[in-house]
Amino acid sequence: MIAHIAKSATGSPLHFGWKDGNYGLEPVLFEGQMSSDFLQDFVSTCKGKSVCNNTCLCQDGWKWHVEQHKCIWDCQCPNGIQCIGPGICGCSTNCHQGTCWNGQCECFEGYTGQDCSHYNPNIMANKDVSVGMNLGGLSYYSSELKFVDIAKLSQSWITQRTSGPNANKWDTHEQHLVNWRNDGYPASLPDNMRLGKLMLRDTIGLYAPNGNYTLLYDGEGDISFRFAHEHIMYNGKGRMVIYINEGKAGVELILSKTNPANPVRNVRFIMPGFEDRYAKFPFYPPFLETIKRYSELRYMDFLHTNGHTPEPTTWDNRRKQEHHTNTGSEGAAIEHMTDLSNRIGANPWFNMPHAADDNFITQFAKLVEKTLRNDLKIYIEYSNEVWNGIFRQTHYSQEQGTKLHLDLNSRKAGMRYYNKRSSEIMQIWKTVFGSQPDKIVPVWAWQTGYQDYTRQAIEDLGNRTRNFKAIAITGYFDCNNFAGKHAAEMLNMSNIQMETYCNNQISQSESSFQYYMDLAKKHGLKLLMYEGGPSIMEGSAIAHGISHEDVTNKAIAFNRDQRIKSVVNNLLEAWYKIVKNDPQNSSPGGLFNYFSSTGTPSKYGSWGMLEYTGQDPGTVPKYVATQSFITRHYSHNSVDIPCSFLQLTTLGYGCFLQKRGALNWRCAVTDDDGVTWSYYADVGNTGDTLVLDGFNPTTHTVYVRSVNKIGVNNYHSMDTRTVNTWKT
């Protein structure tokens, strides 16, 4: 399928148009006269928002503008308010901490009011919660779908030949022959070459939704797809709609031509149902729902901290929003991280790239100061595990420390370079935030498993400890490494026996927590956890690539079993008792950072709390244990907004408790501004919070979700014209 407008052979009375087909609009040949001038006008002005029938018939939300000779947004907005999208009105006021959508400000977590300017932390689900989350990295094969624009999660370009001896080769590795733009798109293509990139590897039909994906792009060229089971529904200039219902191998986007005078760029590949909203609401709602109760998000993998490139990392070569992808060793754009933290009200934890120069650090800090909401704190750490030999940053620090003659021993030279460079970085951040010193939390971290080595490292820091506010450690449990040293024994254990074995390790965790709590207090610092949770796997898989399938399967099965709940809970409670409750370790101390949010289990570990975005979290023991802990210790927090209302012309819709102290939430409609209400049928959600998500006036459908005490959602809808019965 090629994303351009085609024309029949010269002199033929047949031309391409569109008709209603089984999947929506389908291309069809029709008879009639169409001048070449009109065809050119169609190609250059309709811009993929219309169908051709000897004129441009604009889609819903668009209208034909005679003078401009193109389809423009069509809105019926009051009081001169402008359109901000097809059929979408702007707002009469500036949305200070929110996003304008169809005449109303949709506020970020913790903000209310018509213009989202009133801050009320008491309505936030993550208020004061001592649990944070390490987000997964971005890749074309990741099971964590963060963005509704899948192009942000696409592979880097590969080169392919259309003919010749390498025509069937997957990647000819000839990127050096391409004239690249700064945004990562080709300015031109050599003869006999095309580019390809994978998206949604192992996800469509499994984790990613089936349905109508929309391709949008600027410029001129030929784009096609392969691998997935797809059907073209619409094909216009700058826009294509593709129905995809299966594709375990993923989708390969192929760029076979690009116009050097107007090259293809700004490619977006939008999930079904998000074409109108993707620019203003970029994050996938099922992803947001599972992280909304964490008070902090660690962006270590999001930034591709481990092995970050290039060296040196400068501000000019950072990853920018307009880049063709946000995957790869350069990490994602900083703006995406501040945007995500702003929306859910979670403090960001940024890991500075190991080879970043001073200007990069300064500009990073200035950008965060400018774009992050004022009520959030910022955790800053230099790289990640600079002691860990499997990561490039460790070798880099040893190289730099040796070059600076910090020690004759390369390992100690690396440790001393870490202390030197991390202190310098924290000073830069403090300078940028000079008038807001409480806003930043400089973090120092070393090798938790070797207590005396960490003691030596912090003593080497000396009076530079004043540059930091906290020590950060790990809090993993591997059940005394029974998937490694005791694998043969583990294979014969029941899940009950494995649970007991793992819980017996909690006392060791408590001893470690107490040691580091005392060490932190000795140096006048708070104690945090940068990573923690289950690490039940064969350590040799990561270190040497050696694993055994039966051991891997047993470890994965236990990570999925209900018996792991008690171990996760006991670890969280041990941390809470020793670290969070220590009177000298008040905020920002006490934060437990789980690793990690989502990931596919493998021989390298079952690190993800969830296995994929969209998994029913109520069925995941690790998720249930963590959320139950939050509910138990932070019961004053609401799991969602306490009441929700929507005004649509003369009717108003709402979900709320009928009276104070009632158990059952109800949803209702009013035609007199809430004086009287007509109640819909009970959703059957005793004790759950009901949230009104929206109303579709075309189908007369009301959408509601019930949120239980640990924040798990169930979704309900009802056609208000027919039966008073909810579909769940």
Instruction: Using alpha carbons only, give the angle 27, 31, 35 rounded to the nearest 5 degrees.
Output: 95
107 by DSSP, 3-state: which? strand
Model confidence pLDDT, tens digit, residues 272-309: 999 989 999 999 999 999 999 999 999 999 999 999 99
The two tokens of residue 570 are 């006991």
Instruction: Using alpha carbons only, give the angle 638, 642, 646 rounded to the nearest 5 degrees.
Output: 145
Evaluate whether 626 touches 595 at the Cβ level (below 8 Å): no
How many angstroms separate the CA atoms of 440 and 346, rounded? 14
- Lowest mean pLDDT segment, chosen from 68-82, 231-245, 592-606: 68-82
Model confidence pLDDT, tens digit, residues 318-375: 999 999 999 999 999 999 999 999 999 999 999 999 999 999 999 999 999 999 999 9
Name the strand (E) or helix (H) holding 247: none
C-alpha closest to that of 155 among 255, 12, 58? 255
- Mean predicted confidence (pLDDT) in 98-104: 91
Quick count: other Cβ atoms within 10 Å of Cβ 260?
12
Under DSSP, the state recorded for 217 is E
Phi, psi dihedral angles at 645 (to 5 degrees): -140, 155
**Per-residue confidence at 545, pLDDT binned at 50, 70, 90?**
confident
pLDDT in the model for residue 32 = 36
Evaluate whether 204 touches 145 at the Cβ level (below 8 Å): no
pLDDT in the model for residue 281 = 96
CA-based torsion, 472, 474, 475, 480: positive or negative: negative
Quick count: other Cβ atoms within 10 Å of Cβ 548?
16
pLDDT in the model for residue 565 = 98
518 vs 67: which has the higher pLDDT: 518
92 vs 40: which has the higher pLDDT: 92
**Per-residue confidence at 7, pLDDT binned at 50, 70, 90?**
very low
pLDDT in the model for residue 43 = 40
Residue 261 has pLDDT above 90, yes or no: yes
Model confidence pLDDT, tens digit, residues 445-469: 999 999 999 999 999 999 999 999 9
C-alpha closest to that of 582 among 499, 509, 513, 504? 513
Bridge partners of 28, per DSSP, are 17
Q: Which of 26-35, 594-603, 671-680 has the highest mean pLDDT?
A: 594-603
Specify the pairing of strand 440-445 against strand 470-477.
parallel
695 vs 261: which has the higher pLDDT: 261
pLDDT in the model for residue 664 = 77
Name the strand (E) or helix (H) holding 195: strand 193-199
How many angstroms separate the CA atoms of 361 and 422, rounded? 11
pTM attached to this predicted model:
0.91
Please give the mean pLDDT across all residues of the chain. 89
**Per-residue confidence at 78, pLDDT binned at 50, 70, 90?**
confident
Under DSSP, the state recorded for 360 is H
C-alpha closest to that of 627 among 295, 288, 293? 293
264 by DSSP, 3-state: which? coil
Residue 54 has pLDDT above 60, yes or no: no
Beta strands in 316-362 (DSSP E): 347-352
Q: What are the Cα distances from residue 356, in Å, to 305, 312, 365, 397, 669? A: 11, 6, 13, 12, 56
pLDDT in the model for residue 51 = 54
88 by DSSP, 3-state: which? strand
Bridge partners of 378, per DSSP, are 440
**Per-residue confidence at 205, pLDDT binned at 50, 70, 90?**
low
Tokens 């073209």 label which residue?
232
C-alpha closest to that of 225 among 193, 258, 250? 250
**Per-residue confidence at 68, pLDDT binned at 50, 70, 90?**
confident
The two tokens of residue 425 are 């970085």
Name the strand (E) or helix (H) holding 663: none
Amino acid at 153: L
- Mean predicted confidence (pLDDT) in 596-619: 95
Model confidence pLDDT, tens digit, residues 362-406: 999 999 999 999 999 999 999 999 999 999 999 999 999 999 999
The two tokens of residue 197 are 């990139």
585 by DSSP, 3-state: which? coil
pLDDT > 90 in the chain, percent: 70
- The burial of 270, by beta-carbon neighbours within 10 Å (0-12 exposed, 13-18 middle, 19 or more buried), is given as buried
How many angstroms separate the CA atoms of 723 and 709, rounded? 29
- Mean predicted confidence (pLDDT) in 199-225: 90
How many angstroms separate the CA atoms of 578 and 572, rounded? 10
pLDDT in the model for residue 661 = 67
pLDDT in the model for residue 49 = 59
Residue 645 has pLDDT above 80, yes or no: yes
Residue 240 has pLDDT above 90, yes or no: yes
Model confidence pLDDT, tens digit, residues 514-542: 999 999 999 999 999 999 999 998 878 88
pLDDT in the model for residue 23 = 41
How many angstroms separate the CA atoms of 13 and 3, rounded? 23
Peptide bond into 596 cis (omega under 30): yes
Bridge partners of 222, per DSSP, are 257
Peptide bond into 588 cis (omega under 30): yes
Residue 725 has pLDDT above 60, yes or no: yes
How many angstroms separate the CA atoms of 37 and 604, rounded? 60
Specify the pairing of strand 24-31 against strand 14-21.
antiparallel
pLDDT in the model for residue 303 = 98
